[in-house]
Amino acid sequence: MNVRDARRTVPEEAYDKIVDDLTYRYAGTFDRDRVAAAVMSARAALEPVSRIPDFLPVLVERFARDQLLAAAKNEGHVARTVPELLFVCVHNAGRSQMAAALAAHLSAGRVHVRSAGSAPTGVILPTAVQALAERGVELSEEFPKPLTDDVLHASDVIVTMGCGDACPVLHGKRYLDWDVADPAGQPIEVVRDIRDDIQARVTVLLRDLGI
């Protein structure tokens, strides 16, 4: 069975249930049609790069939920209580994932963190997972995600790492461009150095934000 055929084994009822659950979660904020559109968009974005079809509905639910939260903040339905940070690289499989995880870990919840990719891949680099695990930081529940307008508009600080012209620039946002080496294809010893470089940069950013 190829990947495309495997995806077809996921029943449509699974996505209907996601819409039901998120409609309940966002009752009074978004109607069912808005929620269904977010779920369809999340599915369309993740399905082509998903390598484990059985997990696809879970990832779709999480991605759609986060997109709806970003939209709710953009439209003033949900108050912004902490700074919103967004880390972007090409594949959202290494640098941006490590930066977001370290920012969340070091800030102890005093910032809200997202990551995204201009051309996301299907899985996070195992060496990135290992390098962070050595510092007690977990990436087990994360996955590569595409960059969306809702997430861009919801962010206060946007940190780009190697995505170049593919990263849109919005007025009124604070942008930082970090020249961080790409961990893809590198041995764990090199990835550890990249992790430490990112951690140092994240620490400076958090201090600058008063965290």
Give the span between the Cα atoms of 90 and 197, in whole angstroms.
18
Close Cβ partners of 157 (under 8 Å, ≥ 6 residues apart): 83, 84, 85, 86, 173, 174, 175, 176, 205, 209
Distances (CA, A) of 104 to 62, 138, 163, 182: 17, 11, 22, 21
Measure CA 110 to chain center.
Answer: 18
- CATH code at 1-79: 1.10.8.1060
Q: Can you read off the two tokens belonging to residue 167?
A: 């990263």
Give the span between the Cα atoms of 130 and 124, in whole angstroms.
11
Give the span between the Cα atoms of 179 and 95, in whole angstroms.
10
For residues 136-153, average pLDDT? 91
Which residue shows structure tokens 């150095």?
193
Measure CA 82 to chain center.
Answer: 17
For residues 44-54, average pLDDT? 83
Per-residue pLDDT for 110 more than 90?
yes
Q: Using a pLDDT cut of 90, give the percent of the chain over it.
A: 79
Is 199 or 9 the better-scoring residue by pLDDT?
Answer: 199
Tell me if 1-79 shares its fold with 81-211: no
For residues 124-144, average pLDDT? 93
Any idea where the domains of the chain sit in the sequence? 1-79, 81-211
Report pLDDT for 53.
74
For residues 147-160, average pLDDT? 93
For residues 167-188, average pLDDT? 88
Confidence of residue 171 (pLDDT cuts 50, 70, 90): confident
Q: How many CA atoms, within 13 angstroms, populate the side-chain half-sphere of residue 39?
A: 23
In whole numbers, what is the pLDDT of the chain averaged over residues?
A: 91
Architecture of the domain spanning 81-211: 3-Layer(aba) Sandwich (3.40)
Q: Which of 109-118, 142-151, 156-165, 183-192 has the lowest mean pLDDT?
A: 156-165
For residues 58-70, average pLDDT? 96
